[in-house]
Structure 1
Amino acid sequence: MDLYCETAVREATEAGLMPREIDALLQGRPLTALVPPLLAEAVDDYADRATSELFIRYLVEGPDGDAAVA
């Protein structure tokens, strides 16, 4: 796992997401495939942005990573 992924996953778990929830949201992809780093983006800035994206996806898709059925 690269530094961007490691830092973002650590921040997301510190913010309250469980590792299994992160895994469900990623569906086997690296976090950087789901939320690509911007050109010359600082690692900490990326971690904040990626954590926010994971929380949004968690709210939309639910804890199992599946889109909520209306």
Structure 2
Amino acid sequence: MLRTIGLILQTLWAICTIAAGTFVGRALGLQWIGWIGGIVFGLIGLGVGAVAAIYPLETIGYIIDGLDAL
């Protein structure tokens, strides 16, 4: 039961981080450069989101450290 819950949480984390990275990259690229920038930055965001999905604890740590700096 706990393994199933862990797998579900990991899957949701992966989907959310990859989607967020892709969306932010596409939005910034589209705003700054245009369609080509949206495609390129979206792919970069996809890669960053995939790395964030692989290392969830480190990602959460970076987010907390960034919020503490504010």
Tell me the TM-score normalised to structure 1 length.
0.37
The structure whose Rg is larger is: 2
**Greater fraction helix:** 2
Highest relative contact order (Cα 8 Å, sep 6+), 1 or 2? 1
